[in-house]
Amino acid sequence: MNTPERIVVLGYGPVAARFLDAMRPLAAAGLVEVTVLGEEKDAAYNRVLVADLGVGRASRGSLDLSDPDELAADGIRVLLGVRAQRVDRSRRLVHAADGSRLPYDRLVLATGARATVPNLTGLNPDPLHPVLPEGVTALRDLADAARLRAAVDGRKRVVVLGGGVLGLEVALAAAEEGAHVTVVHHGDRPMGRQLDAGSGATLSAALRRQGLQLVPGARATGLTTADDGAFRALALADGTLVEGELLVLACGARPRTELAEGAGLAVGRGVLVDHSLRALHTGHVFAIGDCAEVRCPDPSCAVCQASAGPSGLIAPGWRQADRLAASFTARLLGTVAPAPLPEEKPGVILLKATGVNLAAAGDLQADPWDAMDPGAPLEVSLWADPAQGRYVKMCTRDGALAGFVALGMSRAAAELTLLFGSGGELPADRSVLLRLDGPDGSLGRPGTSAGPESVLCRCAGVSRGSVQAAVTAGCGTVEDVARATKAGTGCGGCKDSVRELIEEYFAPTAV
């Protein structure tokens, strides 16, 4: 009998959980011995929904992505609360902080990313072990969610540093639950990297209508604390103090690469891997998820040369986990190796809250009048109603979307999201898309991109038809559909669409 291959996985987040699920058949068959080290004491959960948990929009159980007992039943060993301290590649050993040593034949790095802690007076600048004062949170784990929940329940003043999607989602949800929220951000508009000036100004007005206070164009320099060391105010460069009881750092995230660097692996923004997810210049170490940067050594590879590094999104990480597990399976069973990972398209940014519905993707900086010049690469269609918080911009190349933003137009946003993902052509009359959100929205609906084969959950790669089949089979709630298909277990942006399909199916039988 052949000796099982020893696989050690470092990190037990959403991407590692996906990989472990795919490896269960091999482990149950005795072909592999899999051990996973999780630094936290909790099993894998969906970090994307930590903010929802913090404002009471999600239950603790709804975040769970993995069951250690089920994995153990298939022979996968889960070590919770155990931190990997060092990787010895020459001896193929992982040294854990508790003194144990784990030998491996193949090592999978799924260490994820950590919140970026800005260099502010009053914060520990050490990026690996930041010490946050009482009343400061980065919303990365369950303890952070508890801090936010306490502030929201107490209707306290919350200061959010950062005007990206995460910061705005937290701010909107906390404000809706009764907290007093101020958003401090660089630039003249929120989401400045994703939006053009018009949509940014329209979004700012919409946010203020939802009760948020905005402090744009601000540079934070430090924070002030009370005698007990708890946060009291965020200090800005112009001398302004933004007071509050909780400071939420929403300043992005950085891949966790310290273990890889200590092991002598090549590192850029993330751990450098080739298209098979193998770390460069080694034969037995792999990386997936937020810590992995696909950048092969071939200088002629246009895909790698254009890569901006890890995306920070859950969907690409899950695709990497599936691909790596399929590769391991094919090698051990002698079957055909899986196809290379497809080139990752730019993701669609979604921001959904009561009174605010935004979807944006791609290149938005071209203006309609610039595009009228002979030889301009893009055609631009623009419609705006700032007083009502509505703004739609479509930038097309040869009839297909190169970029778009839809604010306050939920049906148009859904259709444009589908068209952007599929590469389908827009209707010749662009106003058809605008009429989707009118009283006759069902008339003239393009609909060609929303067939059963279209992707409804981009994170898990679940089609509309698969969700419809699950509903037809008896799934009557979003949670039921998630258990059956995994739709809605990622960013949660598709839950409204899942809910609509459920309501549409069961409506005829409702009394």
CATH number at residue 500: 1.10.10.1100
Distance from C-alpha of 289 to C-alpha of 318, rounded to nearest angstrom: 7
Please check whether residues 140 and 246 belong to one and the same domain: yes
Distance from C-alpha of 261 to C-alpha of 265, rounded to nearest angstrom: 6
Give the pairing type, strands 285-287 and 292-294.
Answer: unpaired
Torsion angle in degrees (nearest 10) through CA of 330, 336, 340, 341: -50
Please check whether residues 232 and 166 belong to one and the same domain: yes
Please check whether residues 233 and 158 belong to one and the same domain: yes
Predicted pLDDT of residue 429? 86
Residue 122 lies in a domain: no
Around 310, how many Cα atoms within 13 Å sit in the side-chain half-sphere? 32
Please check whether residues 104 and 49 belong to one and the same domain: yes
Distance from C-alpha of 142 to C-alpha of 80, rounded to nearest angstrom: 15
Q: Under 8 Å CB-to-CB from 263, ≥6 apart: which residues?
A: 86, 87, 88, 89, 285
Single out the residue in 225, 251, 277 at which a domain terminates.
251
Residue 205 lies in a domain: yes
Residue 119 lies in a domain: no
Q: Which pairs from 65-71 meet CB under 8 Å and 24+ separation?
A: 65/14, 65/17, 65/18, 65/489, 66/12, 66/17, 66/20, 66/21, 67/43, 68/43, 71/20, 71/24, 71/36
Q: Which of 492, 89, 64, 13 is nearest to 290 (CA)?
A: 13
Please check whether residues 162 and 224 belong to one and the same domain: yes
Please check whether residues 149 and 105 belong to one and the same domain: no
Q: Which of 290, 291, 287, 267 is nearest to 275 (CA)?
A: 287
37: left (phi over 0), alpha (psi -120 to 50) or beta: beta
Q: Which of 280, 279, 290 is nearest to 255 (CA)?
A: 290
Single out the residue in 251, 266, 285 at which a domain terminates.
251
Residue 296 lies in a domain: yes
Residue 339 lies in a domain: no
Residue 325 lies in a domain: yes
Please check whether residues 159 and 221 belong to one and the same domain: yes
Please check whether residues 35 and 73 belong to one and the same domain: yes
Residue 124 lies in a domain: no
The domain spanning residue 219 has which CATH number? 3.50.50.60
Single out the residue in 305, 333, 361 at which a domain terminates.
333
Please check whether residues 504 and 410 belong to one and the same domain: no
Q: Which domain holds residue 259?
A: 5-114+255-333
Distance from C-alpha of 428 to C-alpha of 251, rounded to nearest angstrom: 40
Please check whether residues 243 and 294 belong to one and the same domain: no
Please check whether residues 108 and 151 belong to one and the same domain: no
Predicted pLDDT of residue 446? 47
Please check whether residues 163 and 174 belong to one and the same domain: yes
pLDDT, mean of each 10-residue run, the chain (511 residues): 89 96 96 96 90 87 91 96 95 95 97 91 75 88 92 94 92 92 94 92 95 96 91 95 95 93 94 93 94 86 73 86 95 88 79 88 82 73 92 90 92 89 83 82 49 72 79 72 76 72 59 37
Number of H helices, E strands in the chain: 14, 27
374-403 b/e (C-beta count within 10 Å ≥ 16 → b): eeeebbbbbbbebeebbbbbbbbeeeebbb
Please state the domain count of the chain: 4
Residue 389 lies in a domain: yes
